[in-house]
């Protein structure tokens, strides 16, 4: 068994210092701190994404929908669904990606390039 206290882990750079807490072929768990005024700009991933608001408040915009979300909120996104997450006062999110990596996710060039 492994466990983490998501309220105690440091994320000093906000969105610039996410913590990959666990990663296997089945899923990846990432803790993301959003400093006041920061945002995860318009983006998408190749995996299904589940976002849990652990602390603070966030504004989530996706596909023309908008949601104000606080602690305890779970939001699910389909593969390649575009979204934007921002926080005026700061927040802490748990991001779960499954499966990891999703089809088409960049994994680097497995073959050396011939030149």
User: Per residue in 71-93, pLDDT tens?
Assistant: 999 999 888 788 899 999 999 99
How far apart (Å, rounded) are the C-alpha atoms in residues 23 and 71?
Answer: 24
- Of 55-64, 85-94, 102-111, give the lowest mean pLDDT range: 102-111
pLDDT at 113: 47
Is the domain defined by 17-98 classed in CATH 3.40.50.1240?
no
* Residue 96 Cα to chain centre, angstroms: 7
Higher per-residue confidence, 113 vs 17: 17
Beta bridge partners of 96: 29, 50
């Amino acid at each position: 068994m492994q466990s983490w206290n998501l309220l105690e882990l440091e994320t000093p750079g906000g969105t610039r210092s996410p913590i990959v807490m666990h990663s296997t072929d089945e899923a990846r768990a990432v803790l993301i701190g959003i400093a006041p005024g920061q945002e995860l700009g318009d983006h998408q991933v190749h995996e299904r994404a589940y976002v849990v608001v652990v602390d603070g408040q966030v504004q989530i915009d996706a596909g023309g929908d908008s949601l104000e979300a606080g602690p305890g909120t779970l939001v699910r996104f389909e593969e390649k669904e575009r979204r934007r997450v921002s926080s005026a006062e700061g927040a802490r999110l748990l991001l779960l990606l499954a499966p990891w990596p999703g089809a088409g996710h960049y994994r680097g060039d497995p073959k050396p390039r011939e030149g």
